[in-house]
Amino acid sequence: MADQLIRATAADGGIRAVGVITTRLTEEARQRHNLSYVATAALGRTMAAGLLMASSMKRAGSRVNVRVKGDGPLGGILVDAGLDGTVRGYVGNPSIELPPNAKGKLDVGGAVGKGYLYVVRDIGYGYPYSSTVEIVSGEIGDDVAHYLVNSEQTPSAVVLGVFVGSTGVTAAGGLLIQVLPKASRDEALVATLESRVASLAGFTPSLQAGKSLPEILGELLGDMGLRIFPETQILRFNCGCSFDRVLGALKILGEAELQDMIVKDDGAEATCDFCGNVYQASSSHLAQLIVDLQAESSVTR
**Interface residue list for Zn ion (CB under 5 A):** 239, 241, 272, 274-275, 277
Smaller CB separation from Zn ion, 242 or 284: 242
Q: Are 152 and 131 in contact (CB under 8 A)?
A: yes
Minimum distance of Zn ion from residue 245's CB (angstroms) = 9
Dihedral of CA 277/282/285/288: which sign?
Answer: positive
Alpha-carbon span 119 to 133, nearest angstrom: 9
In SS3 terms, 216-280 reads as HHHHHHHHHCCEEEEEEEECEECCCCCHHHHHHHHHHCCHHHHHHHHHHHCEEEEECCCCCCEEE
Minimum distance of Zn ion from residue 242's CB (angstroms) = 8
Minimum distance of Zn ion from residue 89's CB (angstroms) = 11
Smaller CB separation from Zn ion, 101 or 277: 277
Alpha-carbon span 32 to 168, nearest angstrom: 12
Smaller CB separation from Zn ion, 151 or 277: 277
Q: Are 151 and 131 in contact (CB under 8 A)?
A: yes
Smaller CB separation from Zn ion, 78 or 275: 275
Smaller CB separation from Zn ion, 129 or 243: 243
Minimum distance of Zn ion from residue 272's CB (angstroms) = 3
Minimum distance of Zn ion from residue 88's CB (angstroms) = 7
Q: Are 111 and 74 in contact (CB under 8 A)?
A: yes
